[in-house]
Amino acid sequence: MDDRRLEALDLKRDLFRDLLREYHGLFREHNIPVSLRTRKTGRARRIVMVSTHGYWGDPPPAGVPDTGGQTYYVLEVSKAWARQGRQVIIVARHFSPYPRVERLAKNLWLIRIRAGGDQFVRKEDIYPLVPQMAEGVVAVASLFGAHAVMGHYADGMVCALETGERLGIPVAVIPHSLGINKVLSLDLDPDDPGTWFDGQYNFRIREDFELAALRGADFEIANTLREPYILKKYYGYEFPHTVMPAGAGTPFFDISRDPHPEVLEQYGLTAGRYLIYFGRFSEAKNVPGVVKLFGEARRLDPRLMKEIRLVLVGGSPDHPLPEEVSVEEDIESAIAEYRLTAHDVVRLPSQPWKILAILEHHCLSYIGMQLMEPFGMGVAESMAASAPVVISREAGITKWIHDGREAIVVDPEDPPAAARKLIEAMKKEGALERIASGGRRLALGTFRWKSIGVRQGEIMDSLCRTADKGRERAYHRAAFTWRGDPPEVKPRHEKAARGLLLHIVERAQKARHAKKRAIVVLGGESGAGKSEIAEYLRYLLRSEKMRGVTIAGDAFFRLAPEANHRARLDAYAQERLEQYVGPGEVDLERLDAILKEAADRDVGEVFVPSDCRRLGSRRYPRVPVSLTGADVVLVDLTYGLVLKNVTLKVFLESDYRERIAAVKKRNLSRDPDQDFAFVQKVLEIEHHIIQEMREAADMIVTGCYETLPR
């Protein structure tokens, strides 16, 4: 491809030329077909699958972080499509020591895109890299001539949505798991902002990206009935969707033809004399509950359970990962409670799929006590391997299961009752064999990847024929994390938000009666905490059964951040900085018009400008913001108190001179080479302008973050 064609593609897709050259070189080196035709097609012949986090391979490496059910799912669906004659590229994130490109099968390639360095990044921390990853996906899909794109999990879904927006191709998404599900499974309060601002899981960012992707996608494939239900219950949203199970891999279906009983010898196991669990050791999987069921069964009938062992496959007992620490402690506690030994509970590291299939095929029963399980791929695999299954009623796979016919369904929080059900089946002649046979039939008819691939391929073809390719749907571009300056909420911001809450709720209730929304603006100096307080308020409103939406006032500066900084430098050099800095930098008229529109409760969507610091301050002139179900619109803007179409104006008292060290740290982290003396001059000018706006406020947040009516 010559430079002229690359330049044309660069202009058409708004891509960086060097990025296109890099990926075009990979395509050429690995004989991946390049197609720049964009004519409409009624069939998804070329599909890009986006699953950016975790480790990758064929099969995916077992037992490593963020790698398991989702990775295997994407691989198997992609293989099924490739066998149908479609061409498929899986896009993942690159890190050492893996190659950039692998050919996995005929018509199927894996491309690893660069973003955020050369080390593994866990899925909870990957969100700041999403804009950069999305650029790589857009480049790959553009060169491939993709007809459709499918995104997986929050990070992959957003990358897919950005690709669909830029290329004008249909987007399907599979969440695999929702953040709200995880919150509930951990017994956290979904209305408590402390949950959402938890640094371990980053639920707030995950939720923002999940909802943005679901709003913008053409179709959702849910793995459980719970998913659509929970989206409706907690967010009031319904999206075009279907519920479709995951599948079990070929090794599990094939193992009955070649069972390899000799493999058990190396682990000291006897066929039919052990229970097994395999999978991740997270709190939601409730592995300690598996140990408790085993212990309760031994108490109930020690004679029947004599010499029956429990095998736990996975986890890192010697060097547990952060999410495994408390799980391992609880496992040890359960082992001690039931006086079990290392002979009774066998710990095995994660195993290749074929070994897992052998262990499953010869077990007495697979045991799953998950507190929350979006699907339950391990269950499907166990059924395929002809293992009798005991499974938690919280697993999504139970939609397809009749208790006592294809599996024994139990309450994961009641190990004694679960143990009784297992013992009863063991005592009843032929019961476990009949359950294993029923599970095997279910797996053959429902959980084979070939049939799943056919159904999903039909969905992608249908989207190519019917999807609305002209609508604006890049909701993610308004999210703080995409913009690149996410607020860091501290206790002082929480204090101010809680003080403002009742005043906002009161005005929101009045606005409701008038079929309006409350518009709340927070004004004050840069770094005073406007964004942090607004963002925390958005989650506090949940406890009042209200929904808040934030609109970033900074996006209404007439120039993008880097361009505005250069304009200020020019004004400084010309000794007219005081004339340049101020409300004139902001398109207040446009923001006011949008707020007037947003106040009308019949308006379900507004369009705002936005930018992305992580992509060189790229500016997006028109980004959709959903107002469906919203009661309050929160705006944070330095000069926000001059806006007219506002219900409540909040002024944050602040003096940049008292927090100059913090301001310097923040600004230099963005640009280490900047002239901070110049920055101080800007802050001084802003300070004097902003102090004059105090009189327009309805509420004051003091320097101690107390809230007072003015």
Q: Judge if 207 and 257 occupy the same domain.
A: no
- The whole-angstrom separation of Cα 396 and Cα 445 is 17
Task: Work out the angle at residue 557's Cα, subtended by the Cα atoms of residues 553 and 562, and round it to the nearest 5 degrees.
Answer: 115
pLDDT at 3 over 70: no
Which residue, 674, 664, 687, 640, is CA-closest to 572? 674
Same domain, 230 and 336: no
Final residue belonging to a domain, choices 204, 220, 247: 247
Lowest-confidence range among 156-170, 184-198, 338-352?
Answer: 184-198
Total residues belonging to the chain: 710
How does pLDDT run across 419-469, given as a tens digit for each residue? 999 999 999 999 999 999 999 999 998 888 888 999 999 999 999 999 877
Give the CATH number, domain containing residue 412.
Answer: 3.40.50.2000
Q: What angle do CA 546, 497, 679 make, to 5 degrees?
A: 125
Domain assignment present for residue 453? The answer is no
Q: What is the pLDDT of residues 463-503, one digit of tens each?
A: 999 987 778 899 999 999 999 878 889 999 999 999 999 99
**Is residue 650 assigned to a domain?**
yes
End position of a domain, from candidates 427, 443, 459: 443
* Chain center to CA of 190: 17
Write down the residue that tokens 């159904």 correspond to: 455
For the segment 6-35, the average pLDDT, to the nearest whole number, is 84
| CA-CA-CA-CA dihedral for 22, 28, 32, 35, to nearest 10 | 80
Helices (H), 521-659: 530-540, 561-573, 577-580, 588-598
In this structure, is residue 227 part of a structural domain? yes
Nearest to 123 by CA among 180, 65, 69: 65
Among 71, 70, 221, 45, which Cα is nearest to 148's?
45
Query: Cα–Cα distance between 270 and 405 in angstroms, integer?
Result: 26
Alpha helical stretches, state H, 58-178? 69-83, 130-144, 153-167
From the number of C-beta atoms within 10 Å of its C-beta (0-12, 13-18, 19+), residue 358 rates as: buried
Shared domain check, 231 and 273: no
* CATH number of the structural domain spanning residue 604: 3.40.50.300
- 234 and 263 inside one domain: no
Please check whether residues 221 and 334 belong to one and the same domain: no
Strands (E), 582-631: 605-612, 618-626
| pLDDT at position 409 over 70 | yes
Please tell me the predicted confidence (pLDDT) of residue 670. Answer: 64
Range(s) of the domain holding residue 609: 477-709
HSE value, Cβ hemisphere, 13 Å, CA-based, for 45: 10
Is the pLDDT assigned to residue 673 strictly greater than 70? no
Strands in 365-367's sheet, in edge-to-edge order, are 345-348, 309-313, 274-278, 365-367, 389-392, 408-410
> Is residue 698 situated within a structural domain?
yes
| pLDDT score, position 182 | 84
**Residue 506 and residue 396 share a domain:** no
Q: Is residue 460 part of a domain?
A: no
Q: E strands within 663-704?
A: 699-701
Examine the fold and report which residue of 210, 231, 247 is the final residue of a domain before the chain moves on: 247
Same domain assignment for residues 310 and 368: yes
pLDDT of residue 199: 79
Q: What is the DSSP letter of 32?
A: P
Say what the pTM is.
Answer: 0.84
Strand partners, 623: 608
Distance CA 578, CA 570 (A): 12
pLDDT number for residue 678:
86
Say if residue 193 is in the same domain as residue 278: no
pLDDT tens digit sequence for 305-335: 999 999 999 988 888 877 789 999 999 999 9
Q: Exposed (0-12), middle (13-18) or buried (19+): which is 665, by Cβ within 10 Å?
A: exposed
Are residues 238 and 256 located together in one domain of the fold?
Answer: no
Q: Rounded distance, CA 419 to CA 424, Å?
A: 9
How far apart CA 460 and CA 218 sit, in angstroms, is 10
The 10s digit of each residue's pLDDT in 539-559 is 999 999 999 999 999 999 999
* More confident site: 11 or 277: 277
- Encode pLDDT of 218-244 as tens digits: 999 998 778 898 999 999 888 999 988
Cα angle for residues 617, 618, 624 (degrees, 5° grid): 120
pLDDT over 60 at 1, yes or no: no
> Residue 46's beta-bridge partner residues?
87
Record the tokens describing residue 606, joined without a space.
Answer: 């507004």
Based on the fold, state whether residues 433 and 493 are members of the same structural domain. Answer: no
- The mean pLDDT value for 342-354 works out to 92
Question: Which one has a higher pLDDT value, 375 or 65?
Answer: 65
517-542 pLDDT tens trace = 999 999 999 889 999 999 999 999 99
- Angstrom CA distances, 23 to 1, 7, 139, 161, 531, stand at 12, 14, 7, 20, 37
Strand, coil or helix: 59: coil
Q: Does residue 567 lie in a domain region?
A: yes
pLDDT reading at 134 higher than 90: yes
Q: Say yes or no: 294 and 421 in one domain.
A: yes
What does the buried/exposed string (b/e) look like for 230-269 if buried means 16 or more CB atoms within 10 Å of the residue's CB? Answer: bbeebbeeebebeebbbbbbbbbbebeeebeeebbeeeeb
Q: What is the pLDDT of residue 445?
A: 84
Averaged pLDDT score across all residues of the chain: 92
* pLDDT at residue 7, as a whole number: 66
| Alpha-carbon gap, residue 627 to 274, rounded angstroms | 54
The count of structural domains within the chain is: 3
**Do residues 394 and 512 share a domain?**
no
- 500 domain-assigned: yes
In a domain, 354, yes or no: yes
Q: Please write the tens of the pLDDT for every residue from 256-272.
A: 889 999 999 999 999 99
DSSP state string for 234-293: HH----SEEE----B-HHHHHGGGS--GGGGGGGT--TTSEEEEES---GGGTHHHHHHH
Could you report the per-residue pLDDT of 165-223, keeping only the tens digit for each? 999 999 999 999 899 988 887 788 888 888 888 878 899 999 999 999 999 999 999 98
